[in-house]
Amino acid sequence: MDPGHGGAGVTEDERVDEARVAPPPKELGARARHEWSRLVEHVRDPALPPAPQKRAWWALHGIGMLFAVLFYTWSMTPSLLPRPWYLQGVATGICVALGYGVGVLVASVVRRLGFSPQWSERTRLWGWVSLAALAAIELPLFMVLGARWQETTRELVGVQEESGWFTVLLLPIAAGLALVLVALGRLFLRTGYRIARFVSRLVPVVVARLVGLVAALVITVVLLQDGVVAGILALGGRAAATRDLEDPPGVVRPQVEERSGSGASPVEWEDLGREGRAFVSGGPSAAEIEAFSGEPALTPIRVYAGLGSAPTIDEIAATVVDELERTGGFDREVLAVATTTGTGWIDESMARPLEYLHGGDTAIAGMQYSYLPSGFAFLADRNTPRTAGQALFTAVYARWSTLPEAERPLLVVMGESLGSYGGGSAFSGVQDMVARTDGALWVGTPNFAEPWADITASRDPGSPERLPVVDGGEHARFADSPDDLVPDAGWGFPRIVYLQHATDPVVWWSSDLLLRQPDWLREPRAETVNPAMSWYPFVTFWQVTVDLAFSVDVPDGYGHRYELGNADAWAAIVPPDGWTAQDTADLRDHLATE
């Protein structure tokens, strides 16, 4: 009986016997000849798992393509910030590839469960025609809808409208990226299959398949970590190290003894790092503060130690304390411990309001623990920011605690972004901050930071995740805008403020977005968030990830831009005697014009 014709009554055993002794008939098509070869190989060694069926490089899986179209439509929906066309192309390409992979996985699981219908060629053809028709409708429809959603989001955050014709370019970007990612996925699977077939000679087939999958995963992770990520970090590290040696435009060595790096300071100017030099040379002078307040003012103290100032983190922190001693920082009215971002940056918009607020009778202490931008620093070493934040506060607090209680300055802590992550790690929670400080300002805190995550998770029932209420607002308050920072009788001292915009992807980005809808997307949206934003598995994670790249390219008050709100925060945390709401408004207006 000719197995190529699939005649009735031919058993599998007969096909196997014939396969043992006969080559594939010449009249068989290419697909049938391939199946014959696989059967022969299995007969020769039944222990081997079947080799993966080879497809033409352009062949695509129907169910995978159906899911890819679905994920495409989801990817065009709005997220926290407007996406430029090229970033939309990246987000869509990643989502389409993920959708294709999910579809193939679903089909594979269903087939493993025993549901494997044999579709006729005519049915397959109609399936592809229907899928093509669906794609022909969905692609242009969601291009138009996506453009409208992005326009709405731009209006909400005050971003200039994008030229419309550029949006058509996102499709080739998305298609090219998706094809590359699908090809890499197939390479991953084929690697696992090859390893499994080799190992199956030594262990049972089921174990071999598991070993193949794990081995392929390990190889992929090693290549990513030690190849791609390590290469990016190496290139970025070299560029950052070179940049750290340069002075920012307009920065000159300070001449006043109240600053580190001056002639009176033992800390060398060159050892401060780029951002450290910018910090100590900046800030308002006593004359500028007097011009604003109409009252006598002091020159604000700014002390800093860079990576070149000492060999270890603890020694750098000790150098900062020595600088506070030298400059008289422990004799000022307010002493602020600032944990920097990855590059060593301290935001002027956090430092200047505090200095104006207290007539320059302040001291701000910071230190550098890296020269990498925050994103690179986080990838390279997540522990160092925490170590630095803990070391600096511990060193300053130990010296501050030795002072007579009546002579101590108000001790406050502050940090933005990765600085909030590192600085906040010095405390176990709100009560610890209340016990050991006179106030705290944490700005744009990353979602993975502690104790922010625990404080948010333990918020009072009924309060939203984006603006949680903690212990009835007794000490800690969360704010999106200055309007959320109006002091009331129930807000006692010390006061802790977390500034976090509803549109800040740094605050809301989390790996949990892959498979779990967060509370902030279940709850009513803030007025600044597009009401059409919804959660979709896998897709929302990548949308918010792409938002990170655009998080500071928006006006103040949105995304990861926190500037004028810091004046209201400091006025609420450590207000001078007699300070009024009008004084805060005047300070905010003055800072906006500097």
Q: Which residues does 457 contact at the CB level (< 8 Å), separation at least 6?
A: none
Which residue, 240, 271, 305, sits at the end of a domain? 240
What pLDDT score was predicted for residue 331? 97
Dihedrals phi, psi of 562, to nearest 5 degrees: -125, 110
Segment 518-553, tens digit of pLDDT: 999 999 999 999 999 999 999 999 999 999 998 999
Q: Which residues does 292 contact at the CB level (< 8 Å), separation at least 6?
A: 356, 587, 590
* Same-domain status, 271 and 217: no
What pLDDT score was predicted for residue 25? 56
* Same-domain status, 236 and 287: no
Number of C-alpha atoms within 13 angstroms, CB side, residue 592?
Answer: 12
* Same-domain status, 230 and 311: no
What pLDDT score was predicted for residue 428? 96
- Does residue 553 lie in a domain region? no
User: Which among 369, 252, 360, 224 is positioned nearest to 311, based on CA atoms?
Assistant: 369
- Does residue 408 lie in a domain region? yes
Which residue, 182, 212, 240, sits at the end of a domain? 240
Q: In what order do the strands lie in the sheet with 301-305?
A: 301-305, 362-367, 334-339, 410-416, 439-443, 495-499, 476-479
Which residue, 179, 211, 240, sits at the end of a domain? 240
Q: How many domains does the chain have?
A: 3
* Same-domain status, 218 and 87: yes
What pLDDT score was predicted for residue 212? 84
* Same-domain status, 279 and 398: yes
Q: Which residues does 559 contact at the CB level (< 8 Å), separation at least 6?
A: 80, 81, 157, 501, 503, 504, 505, 547, 550, 551, 552, 553
- Does residue 399 lie in a domain region? yes
Q: Reduced to 3 states, what is the DSSP secondary structure of residue 477?
A: strand
Taking CA atoms, 354 is separated from 237, 268, 478, in Å, by 33, 26, 19
- Does residue 53 lie in a domain region? no
Domain that holds residue 232: 62-240
* 10-residue mean pLDDT series, the chain (594 residues): 39 42 52 53 48 58 93 97 91 96 90 80 88 93 92 92 71 94 90 86 84 85 76 75 84 95 95 96 96 96 96 97 98 98 94 98 97 77 91 98 96 97 97 98 96 96 96 96 90 97 97 95 94 96 94 94 94 96 95 89
User: Which among 367, 424, 357, 362 is positioned nearest to 569, based on CA atoms?
Assistant: 357
- Does residue 166 lie in a domain region? yes
Dihedrals phi, psi of 154, to nearest 5 degrees: -60, -40
* Same-domain status, 465 and 576: yes
Assign residue 26 a region: left if phi > 0, alpha if psi is -120 to 50, beta otherwise? alpha
- Does residue 583 lie in a domain region? yes
- Does residue 351 lie in a domain region? yes
* Same-domain status, 361 and 473: yes
> Could you tell me the sign of the dihedral formed by the alpha carbons of 78, 80, 86, 88, in that order?
negative
Segment 320-362, tens digit of pLDDT: 999 999 999 999 999 999 999 989 999 999 999 999 999 999 9
- 408, 400 Cβ separation under 8 angstroms: yes
What pLDDT score was predicted for residue 44? 47
* Same-domain status, 395 and 279: yes
* Same-domain status, 17 and 138: no
What pLDDT score was predicted for residue 21? 42
* Same-domain status, 304 and 447: yes
- Does residue 55 lie in a domain region? no
* Same-domain status, 78 and 158: yes
* Same-domain status, 268 and 194: no
